Amino acid sequence: MPQNSKLEAQIEFLVEVDKLKSVLRRNYAIHGDRRENSAEHSWHVALFAMVLAEHSNEPVDINRVVRMLVIHDIVEVDAGDTFIYDDTEKETQVVREERAANRLFGLLPQEQGELFRDLWDEFEAAATPEAKFAKAIDRFAAALHNYKTHGRGWSENGIKRDRVLAVNEYVRRGSAALWDKIQSFVNSATKEGFLQS
């Protein structure tokens, strides 16, 4: 691909994924009375990973973790955000997100598109130490947002204590320390009355 065409493809991709700023999540921004968007989430979880890297169960290449987290939700430009507690939406999530990954990463020059797609696939498979930690961070951030907003996202969607624990138990695979912290959030939220049993 000629250099000018490569640059044009990269710019086209960057313009297209700017739409991620308009994809609203069910979580609320911690210090605001509005929903978080997916671009904010991606930036925040990348920062979470950098700050919390020492709590991974296994040594990780933090640069690889951060790269995964920056691109992990790009597919939401086409597929939308699938609420982690929505079993109906989760039934079609894989198909919607695969289709979106093909289109969006396909906008990039081939080698770069394949590299990004490989990172996205690695995150989804959650088999490497980096992907396990990235997934743990992704879920930990959402749990922290819910806890710090006094369970607003949980209560608005009828999510109860057992469901929060079941969905987030996955965090243990990437970070036992963060799983312990989630359990403390859940216990505290239940005691304070903003997470129902």
pTM of the shown model: 0.95
Domain containing 96: what range? 3-192
Interatomic CA distance for residues 104 and 1, integer angstroms: 18
Q: Which helix (H) or strand (E) holds 35?
A: strand 35-37
Q: In this predicted model, what pLDDT tens digit does every residue of 14-72 receive, in sequence order?
A: 999 999 999 999 999 999 789 999 999 999 999 999 999 999 999 999 999 999 999 99
The one-letter code for the residue type at 38 is S
Positive/negative CA dihedral, 68, 136, 161, 148: negative
Residue 155 near residue 191, CB atoms below 8 Å: no
Domain count, the chain: 1
User: Cα–Cα distances in Å, from 178 out to 28, 58, 141, 169, 181?
Assistant: 20, 13, 10, 10, 5
Residue 197 within any structural domain of the chain: no
Helices (H) and strands (E) in the chain, counts: 11, 2
Distance CA 121, CA 68 (A): 9
Rounded Cα–Cα distance for residues 197 and 179 (Å):
19
- Does 14 reside within a domain? yes
How does pLDDT run across 75-124, given as a tens digit for each residue? 999 999 999 998 898 899 999 999 999 999 999 999 999 999 999 999 99
Quick check: is 33 in a domain? yes
Do the beta carbons of residue 49 and residue 175 sit within 8 Å? no
Q: Is residue 122 part of a domain?
A: yes
151-182 pLDDT, tens per residue? Answer: 999 999 999 999 999 999 999 999 999 999 99
Residue 185 included in any domain: yes
Give the CATH number of the domain where residue 164 resides.
1.10.3210.10
Nearest CA among 100, 166, 173, 101 for reference residue 131: 173
